[in-house]
Chain A
Amino acid sequence: MRANDVMSTGVVTVGPDTPLIEAVRLMLQDEISGLPVVDANGRLVGIVTEGDLLRRHEIGTERYSPRWIEAFRMPALAEAFTRAHGRKVSDVMTSPVVTADPEASLSEIVDAMEKRQVNRVPVLQGENLVGIVSRADLLRAFAHATAAAPPPPAGDAAIQEKLWQDLSKQPWTLPATVSIVIRDGRIDLRGAVPDERYRHALKALAENVVGLSAVEDHLVTVPEEALKPPMRNLAKFLPATDGPGLNVQD
């Protein structure tokens, strides 16, 4: 999926000279957390977001710093004053803006969001603002994708094959001490894992094959040393199983 598959279009924008209170009302009314700022020529010059509105004199949240620090950073204080008291969008907006191309992949967008700590990325076609991808847009795409998930494979043999396929694609490997029992469309996880993280990963993998309610977890966590050959200590940790590996019981 790409940016233009998930972005919101018909983006609400404001100008640099728009009164801040008007921008705030727009955000509340439309339930959006950020507004791109465009100049008279339609060029993107900044973005004003909830994060830009947290340090304000109206709600008494201006940044405070001790007197002795203040003497060293007067210009920074002047800037903080502008952000806390300014009445125009341009006084508080964030600039420059992290933007994306309509063809950008969702991975690139999520990378940019995490690295630059932003919650929305305006999409530019050349110089024109054509849309915006917010975290909510990604969430919507995720909700659609999960709703359209393929049905679980029919028959225990098909389940087994799918499970093997998915396991072989992982950079982590199935511990040899785990046994997976597939019966009547249900997956039963048995045996020992060296680490809780394997238990969670195995459960998640199995749940992705047959669904949330069809997986049973009888795994026990055993410290790695106990699993090393000659596995003298193993027996006392393990419930009765059909031995390591993947079995289909009929």
Chain B
Amino acid sequence: MKIAELMTSPVVTIRPETSIAEAARLMLDRHVSGLPVVNAEGALVGILTEGDLIRRVELGTEPHRPRWVEFFGSTGRHAEEYVLTHGRKAGEIMTSEVVTIGEDASLTDAVSLMDKRHIKRLPVLAGGRVIGIVSRSDLVRALASLSPGASPAPATDAAIRARLRSELAAQNWVPKSVTFKVRGGVVDLQGVLFDDRCRGALRVLAENVPGVTKVEDRMIWVEPMTGIAIIDPVAAPSPPVGS
């Protein structure tokens, strides 16, 4: 799947001279959390997001520092901060270094960029113009449309066994010490784990095999440094009171 297939288009944009009160209303009305800022020629010059509007004097959330800290700071920087907390035009408080993406990029590229730069939306550029925007909610929408619907037709135990074996072999984190049995669609996981994080992953893997109705977890976690065996703390019966 390419970006162009799931981006939101056309995009609501604003100009640098748009007042931020108007921008805020636009974001609330359209249920978007960021607006690309374009100049008179239609070129992208910045982006105004919710994050740019939450450190504001109107909310009483502007940064406060003790006087002695202010004394050491450069007054140029204080002036800059004043603009961000008091400015009234999009151009004054927008983020001008915009992270963008091309329409042919993959979803993985988009997710990696969002992860690395801690951002929630990427304007999509083609020939220097904003042709769309891809946000986290677009990705969630794609996820919803691609998720399998009703559980697939039941499979025979032999088919489940074969599929489970090949799925386990395809993963590089599966401990060799884990075995399984399949009876009547129920997968019984057994063996020894050296890290408890593998437990959830193995359960999820078995649940995802078509035809599996239930997963029983009988795996034992052995702490590798001490050799102490820890039975699943949730499944283990609690010791009788007073013993």
Contacts and interface: CB of A to CB of B under 8 A. Distances in A.
Q: Are A and B part of the same complex? A: yes
A67 B76 CA distance: 49
B197 A75 contact: yes
Given A135-B33, A146-B58, A86 B204 contact: yes
A51 B142 CA distance: 14
B2 to A, nearest CB: 11
Contacts, number: 202
Interface in B105-148: 106-108, 111, 114-115, 118, 120, 136-137, 139-144, 146-147
Interface in A63-113: 64, 67, 70-71, 74-79, 81-82, 85-87, 91, 105-107, 110, 113
Contacts of B172: 67, 70-71, 74, 77
A41 interface: no
A59 B59 contact: no
B207 A81 contact: no
Given A70-B172, A79-B197, A204-B82, A1 B60 contact: yes
B218 interface: no
Contact of A31 (B21, B31, B50, B61): B31
Nearest to B49: A135
B242 interface: no
Contacts of A212: 19, 88-89
Contacts of A113: 54
Contacts of B208: 85, 87
A53 interface: yes
B47 to A, nearest CB: 15
Interface in A141-199: 141-143, 145-147, 149, 170-173, 194-195, 197-198
Contacts of B137: 27-28, 31, 33, 50
A203 B17 CA distance: 13
Q: Secondary structure at chain A's binding surface: helix, strand, loop or mixed?
A: helix
Contacts of A171: 70, 73, 75, 78
A58 B143 contact: yes
A126 interface: no
Contact of B140 (A28, A74, A140): A28
A226 interface: no
A81 B205 contact: yes
B61 A195 contact: no
A168 to B, nearest CB: 13
Contact of B54 (A82, A110, A205): A110
B79 interface: yes
Contacts of B88: 204, 207-208, 212
Contacts of A70: 172-173
Contacts of A74: 172-173, 195, 198
Contact of B92 (A55, A110, A204): A204
A138 B59 contact: yes
Contacts of B107: 59-61
B99 to A, nearest CB: 15
Contacts of A11: none
A135 B139 contact: no
Contacts of B118: 117
Contacts of B111: 54-55, 61
Given A50-B136, A110-B54, A139-B27, A172 B143 contact: no
A59 B79 contact: no
B80 interface: yes
B53 interface: yes
B28 A143 contact: yes
A90 to B, nearest CB: 9
A146 B82 contact: no
Contact of A81 (B78, B87, B171): B171
Given A28-B137, A50-B139, A74-B195, A201 B79 contact: yes
Nearest to A166: B86
Interface of A: 1, 21, 24-25, 27-28, 31, 33, 50-51, 53-56, 58-61, 64, 67, 70-71, 74-79, 81-82, 85-87, 91, 105-107, 110, 113, 117, 119, 135-136, 138-143, 145-147, 149, 170-173, 194-195, 197-198, 200-201, 203-205, 207-208, 212
Given A33-B136, A58-B147, 5 more contacts: A25-B144, A59-B1, A59-B146, A85-B208, A142-B54
11 contacts: A58-B143, A76-B197, A78-B173, A79-B200, A105-B60, A110-B54, A135-B54, A142-B56, A146-B58, A171-B78, A204-B82
